[in-house]
Amino acid sequence: MVVLIHEIAHYKVGEYYGVNLTEIELFPFGGVVKIEDGLGLDPFKEMAISIAGPLSNFILLVSGYFLGLYLPIKEDLLNIFLTANFMIFIFNLVPIIPLDGGRIFRAFLSYIWGMKKATSITVFIGKLLSIVMLLVGIYYTRQSHDNIYLIILAGFLYFNAHRERKLVFFLFIKDVLRKKRTLQNKGVMNAKYLTVMETVDLNRVFQEFSTGRYHFVTVISGKGEILGTLTEGQILDAVGNYGNGRPIGELLRSKATEIETF
Protein backbone atom coordinates (compact mmCIF):
# COMPACT_ATOMS: atom_id res chain seq x y z
CA MET A 1 0.00 0.00 0.00
CA VAL A 2 2.84 2.41 0.88
CA VAL A 3 4.54 1.73 -2.47
CA LEU A 4 1.25 2.23 -4.32
CA ILE A 5 0.69 5.63 -2.67
CA HIS A 6 4.26 6.57 -3.63
CA GLU A 7 3.62 5.77 -7.28
CA ILE A 8 0.18 7.41 -7.30
CA ALA A 9 1.87 10.62 -6.11
CA HIS A 10 4.11 10.45 -9.20
CA TYR A 11 1.08 9.86 -11.37
CA LYS A 12 -0.99 12.76 -9.99
CA VAL A 13 1.84 15.29 -10.33
CA GLY A 14 2.52 14.08 -13.86
CA GLU A 15 -1.18 14.45 -14.64
CA TYR A 16 -1.07 18.01 -13.25
CA TYR A 17 1.74 18.94 -15.63
CA GLY A 18 0.06 17.27 -18.59
CA VAL A 19 2.62 14.45 -18.79
CA ASN A 20 1.26 11.12 -20.00
CA LEU A 21 2.26 8.35 -17.55
CA THR A 22 1.61 5.11 -19.41
CA GLU A 23 1.83 2.54 -16.60
CA ILE A 24 2.96 1.78 -13.05
CA GLU A 25 5.11 -1.29 -12.35
CA LEU A 26 5.29 -2.46 -8.75
CA PHE A 27 8.18 -4.53 -7.35
CA PRO A 28 8.81 -5.92 -3.84
CA PHE A 29 11.36 -3.12 -3.25
CA GLY A 30 9.44 -0.32 -4.94
CA GLY A 31 7.93 0.69 -8.25
CA VAL A 32 8.58 2.50 -11.51
CA VAL A 33 6.29 4.90 -13.34
CA LYS A 34 6.75 4.78 -17.11
CA ILE A 35 6.45 8.14 -18.85
CA GLU A 36 5.47 8.47 -22.49
CA ASP A 37 8.27 10.38 -24.26
CA GLY A 38 10.14 10.47 -20.96
CA LEU A 39 13.38 11.21 -22.80
CA GLY A 40 11.98 14.52 -23.96
CA LEU A 41 10.62 15.55 -20.57
CA ASP A 42 11.38 19.07 -19.36
CA PRO A 43 13.91 18.91 -16.46
CA PHE A 44 11.66 20.92 -14.12
CA LYS A 45 8.74 18.57 -14.75
CA GLU A 46 10.97 15.51 -14.33
CA MET A 47 12.21 16.90 -11.02
CA ALA A 48 8.70 17.73 -9.79
CA ILE A 49 7.31 14.31 -10.74
CA SER A 50 10.29 12.50 -9.20
CA ILE A 51 10.17 14.45 -5.92
CA ALA A 52 6.44 13.70 -5.49
CA GLY A 53 7.02 10.03 -4.60
CA PRO A 54 9.54 10.46 -1.76
CA LEU A 55 7.64 13.51 -0.55
CA SER A 56 4.48 11.41 -0.16
CA ASN A 57 6.42 8.93 2.00
CA PHE A 58 7.83 11.76 4.10
CA ILE A 59 4.33 13.15 4.67
CA LEU A 60 3.04 9.68 5.61
CA LEU A 61 6.00 9.19 7.94
CA VAL A 62 5.44 12.48 9.79
CA SER A 63 1.64 12.01 9.85
CA GLY A 64 1.96 8.47 11.17
CA TYR A 65 4.35 9.56 13.88
CA PHE A 66 2.06 12.29 15.23
CA LEU A 67 -1.07 10.15 14.89
CA GLY A 68 0.70 7.50 16.94
CA LEU A 69 1.17 10.01 19.72
CA TYR A 70 -2.51 10.84 20.04
CA LEU A 71 -4.41 7.79 18.74
CA PRO A 72 -4.55 4.25 20.16
CA ILE A 73 -2.71 2.57 17.26
CA LYS A 74 -1.02 -0.79 17.83
CA GLU A 75 2.69 -0.18 18.32
CA ASP A 76 3.76 -3.07 16.06
CA LEU A 77 1.61 -1.88 13.14
CA LEU A 78 2.74 1.71 13.62
CA ASN A 79 6.41 0.70 13.62
CA ILE A 80 5.97 -1.29 10.41
CA PHE A 81 4.21 1.66 8.78
CA LEU A 82 6.85 4.17 9.88
CA THR A 83 9.76 1.91 8.95
CA ALA A 84 8.33 1.17 5.50
CA ASN A 85 7.87 4.86 4.70
CA PHE A 86 11.29 5.78 6.06
CA MET A 87 13.07 3.05 4.05
CA ILE A 88 11.24 3.88 0.80
CA PHE A 89 11.88 7.61 1.33
CA ILE A 90 15.63 7.12 1.86
CA PHE A 91 16.11 4.40 -0.75
CA ASN A 92 14.40 6.37 -3.52
CA LEU A 93 16.62 9.39 -2.92
CA VAL A 94 19.75 7.42 -3.81
CA PRO A 95 21.10 9.03 -7.03
CA ILE A 96 20.76 5.98 -9.29
CA ILE A 97 18.48 5.94 -12.33
CA PRO A 98 15.67 4.73 -12.42
CA LEU A 99 15.25 5.70 -8.75
CA ASP A 100 13.71 9.10 -8.03
CA GLY A 101 16.99 10.35 -6.61
CA GLY A 102 18.74 9.60 -9.90
CA ARG A 103 16.14 11.49 -11.92
CA ILE A 104 16.16 14.44 -9.52
CA PHE A 105 19.97 14.56 -9.64
CA ARG A 106 20.03 14.40 -13.45
CA ALA A 107 17.35 17.09 -13.80
CA PHE A 108 19.33 19.38 -11.51
CA LEU A 109 22.61 18.79 -13.37
CA SER A 110 20.93 19.32 -16.74
CA TYR A 111 20.36 22.97 -15.86
CA ILE A 112 24.13 23.36 -15.51
CA TRP A 113 25.61 21.06 -18.16
CA GLY A 114 22.71 19.94 -20.35
CA MET A 115 20.86 16.63 -20.54
CA LYS A 116 23.64 14.69 -22.28
CA LYS A 117 26.42 15.41 -19.79
CA ALA A 118 24.02 15.27 -16.82
CA THR A 119 22.92 11.77 -17.84
CA SER A 120 26.52 10.61 -18.30
CA ILE A 121 27.47 11.84 -14.81
CA THR A 122 24.37 10.35 -13.18
CA VAL A 123 24.89 7.00 -14.91
CA PHE A 124 28.54 6.88 -13.81
CA ILE A 125 27.61 7.58 -10.18
CA GLY A 126 24.74 5.11 -10.40
CA LYS A 127 26.97 2.33 -11.66
CA LEU A 128 29.53 3.05 -8.96
CA LEU A 129 26.91 2.92 -6.20
CA SER A 130 25.43 -0.27 -7.70
CA ILE A 131 28.84 -1.95 -7.54
CA VAL A 132 29.22 -0.86 -3.90
CA MET A 133 25.76 -2.28 -3.17
CA LEU A 134 26.74 -5.53 -4.91
CA LEU A 135 29.87 -5.89 -2.76
CA VAL A 136 27.89 -5.15 0.39
CA GLY A 137 25.27 -7.66 -0.74
CA ILE A 138 27.89 -10.37 -1.30
CA TYR A 139 29.36 -9.74 2.16
CA TYR A 140 26.02 -9.96 3.96
CA THR A 141 24.76 -12.86 1.84
CA ARG A 142 27.74 -14.93 3.00
CA GLN A 143 26.44 -14.40 6.53
CA SER A 144 22.78 -15.03 5.69
CA HIS A 145 21.10 -16.02 2.41
CA ASP A 146 18.20 -13.79 3.41
CA ASN A 147 20.29 -10.83 2.20
CA ILE A 148 20.58 -12.09 -1.38
CA TYR A 149 18.00 -9.48 -2.39
CA LEU A 150 20.80 -6.88 -2.14
CA ILE A 151 22.69 -8.63 -4.93
CA ILE A 152 19.55 -8.86 -7.09
CA LEU A 153 18.73 -5.21 -6.44
CA ALA A 154 22.28 -4.11 -7.29
CA GLY A 155 22.12 -6.01 -10.57
CA PHE A 156 18.76 -4.47 -11.42
CA LEU A 157 20.00 -0.93 -10.75
CA TYR A 158 23.26 -1.44 -12.64
CA PHE A 159 21.44 -2.82 -15.68
CA ASN A 160 19.02 0.11 -15.77
CA ALA A 161 21.82 2.65 -15.37
CA HIS A 162 23.73 1.00 -18.23
CA ARG A 163 20.62 1.03 -20.42
CA GLU A 164 20.17 4.75 -19.75
CA ARG A 165 23.80 5.33 -20.82
CA LYS A 166 23.03 3.96 -24.27
CA LEU A 167 20.30 6.58 -24.67
CA VAL A 168 22.55 9.57 -23.92
CA PHE A 169 22.90 10.83 -27.49
CA PHE A 170 19.18 10.39 -28.12
CA LEU A 171 18.50 12.32 -24.90
CA PHE A 172 20.67 15.14 -26.18
CA ILE A 173 18.85 15.36 -29.52
CA LYS A 174 15.48 15.39 -27.73
CA ASP A 175 16.73 18.14 -25.45
CA VAL A 176 17.85 20.26 -28.41
CA LEU A 177 14.55 19.80 -30.25
CA ARG A 178 12.62 20.75 -27.13
CA LYS A 179 14.63 23.96 -26.82
CA LYS A 180 13.92 24.78 -30.45
CA ARG A 181 10.16 24.34 -29.89
CA THR A 182 10.32 26.47 -26.73
CA LEU A 183 12.11 29.27 -28.58
CA GLN A 184 9.59 29.15 -31.41
CA ASN A 185 6.63 29.20 -29.01
CA LYS A 186 7.86 31.84 -26.56
CA GLY A 187 9.98 33.90 -28.95
CA VAL A 188 12.50 34.53 -26.14
CA MET A 189 15.07 32.32 -24.43
CA ASN A 190 18.07 32.86 -22.17
CA ALA A 191 21.39 32.66 -23.99
CA LYS A 192 24.72 31.10 -23.11
CA TYR A 193 27.98 32.24 -24.69
CA LEU A 194 30.92 29.91 -25.21
CA THR A 195 34.46 30.61 -26.41
CA VAL A 196 36.32 27.71 -28.04
CA MET A 197 39.54 27.12 -29.97
CA GLU A 198 39.17 26.52 -33.69
CA THR A 199 40.63 23.01 -33.37
CA VAL A 200 37.89 21.79 -30.98
CA ASP A 201 35.46 19.33 -32.59
CA LEU A 202 31.70 19.76 -32.55
CA ASN A 203 31.18 16.84 -30.17
CA ARG A 204 33.26 18.62 -27.51
CA VAL A 205 31.20 21.79 -28.00
CA PHE A 206 27.98 19.76 -27.59
CA GLN A 207 29.08 18.65 -24.13
CA GLU A 208 29.02 22.27 -22.96
CA PHE A 209 25.45 22.93 -24.14
CA SER A 210 22.98 23.51 -21.30
CA THR A 211 19.25 22.92 -20.95
CA GLY A 212 16.94 25.88 -21.46
CA ARG A 213 19.55 28.16 -23.06
CA TYR A 214 20.30 29.03 -26.67
CA HIS A 215 24.02 28.97 -27.43
CA PHE A 216 26.33 31.33 -29.27
CA VAL A 217 29.86 30.04 -29.83
CA THR A 218 32.76 32.42 -30.46
CA VAL A 219 35.68 30.72 -32.25
CA ILE A 220 39.23 31.93 -31.67
CA SER A 221 42.54 31.04 -33.33
CA GLY A 222 45.69 29.74 -31.68
CA LYS A 223 46.88 33.36 -31.47
CA GLY A 224 43.76 34.37 -29.54
CA GLU A 225 42.17 36.20 -32.45
CA ILE A 226 38.37 36.10 -32.83
CA LEU A 227 37.53 34.27 -36.05
CA GLY A 228 33.75 34.56 -35.82
CA THR A 229 30.60 33.34 -34.06
CA LEU A 230 28.30 30.40 -34.75
CA THR A 231 24.80 29.82 -33.42
CA GLU A 232 23.50 26.59 -31.92
CA GLY A 233 21.30 26.12 -34.98
CA GLN A 234 24.24 26.38 -37.39
CA ILE A 235 26.21 23.83 -35.39
CA LEU A 236 23.29 21.40 -35.30
CA ASP A 237 22.79 21.70 -39.05
CA ALA A 238 26.47 20.94 -39.59
CA VAL A 239 26.28 17.86 -37.37
CA GLY A 240 23.31 16.60 -39.36
CA ASN A 241 25.22 17.04 -42.63
CA TYR A 242 28.81 16.17 -41.69
CA GLY A 243 28.80 14.45 -38.30
CA ASN A 244 30.09 15.66 -34.94
CA GLY A 245 33.82 15.04 -35.47
CA ARG A 246 34.39 18.13 -37.59
CA PRO A 247 36.57 20.94 -36.10
CA ILE A 248 34.50 24.02 -35.37
CA GLY A 249 37.05 26.25 -37.11
CA GLU A 250 36.51 24.33 -40.33
CA LEU A 251 32.76 24.81 -40.01
CA LEU A 252 33.22 28.56 -39.46
CA ARG A 253 35.40 28.90 -42.55
CA SER A 254 32.90 26.99 -44.67
CA LYS A 255 30.13 29.33 -43.50
CA ALA A 256 32.28 32.34 -44.38
CA THR A 257 32.91 30.87 -47.86
CA GLU A 258 29.17 30.37 -48.39
CA ILE A 259 28.50 34.03 -47.52
CA GLU A 260 31.25 35.25 -49.88
CA THR A 261 29.93 33.07 -52.68
CA PHE A 262 26.42 34.36 -52.12
212: nearest Cα among 40, 43, 14, 36? 43
Look at residue 198 and tell me if it is in a domain: yes
Q: Is the separation of the CB atoms in 95 and 121 below 8 Å?
A: no
C-alpha distances (whole Å) from 222 to each of 201, 205, 256 are 15, 17, 19
Q: Show which of 59, 93, 127 is a domain's final residue.
A: 93
Look at residue 110 and tell me if it is in a domain: no
Look at residue 125 and tell me if it is in a domain: no
Look at residue 128 and tell me if it is in a domain: no
Look at residue 67 and tell me if it is in a domain: yes
**Mean of the per-residue pLDDT values for the chain?**
82
Look at residue 102 and tell me if it is in a domain: no
Q: Show which of 93, 118, 138 is a domain's final residue.
A: 93
Residue 180: in which H helix or E strand, if any?
helix 168-186
Task: Note down the domain range covering 197.
Answer: 190-261
* pLDDT the model gives residue 55: 94
d(CA 53, CA 19): 15
What is the domain-level CATH number for residue 204?
3.10.580.10
* pLDDT the model gives residue 58: 94
* pLDDT the model gives residue 231: 85
The 10s digit of each residue's pLDDT in 12-70 is 888 888 877 666 666 655 666 666 555 556 778 888 988 998 999 999 999 999 988 88
For 87-156, the DSSP string reads: HHHHHHTSS-TTSHHHHHHHHHHHHHH-HHHHHHHHHHHHHHHHHHHHHHHHHHHHH-GGGHHHHHHHHH
Domains held by the chain: number: 2
* pLDDT the model gives residue 259: 47
For 215-244, letters b (16+ CB in 10 Å) and e give bebebeeeeeeebeebebeebbebbeeeeb
Q: What is the model's pTM?
A: 0.70
Predicted confidence band at 249 (pLDDT cuts at 50, 70, 90)? confident
CB neighbours of 262 closer than 8 A, spacing ≥ 6? none
d(CA 117, CA 106): 9
Q: What residues are paired with 25 via a beta bridge?
A: 32
Look at residue 212 and tell me if it is in a domain: yes
Q: Show which of 68, 93, 118 is a domain's final residue.
A: 93
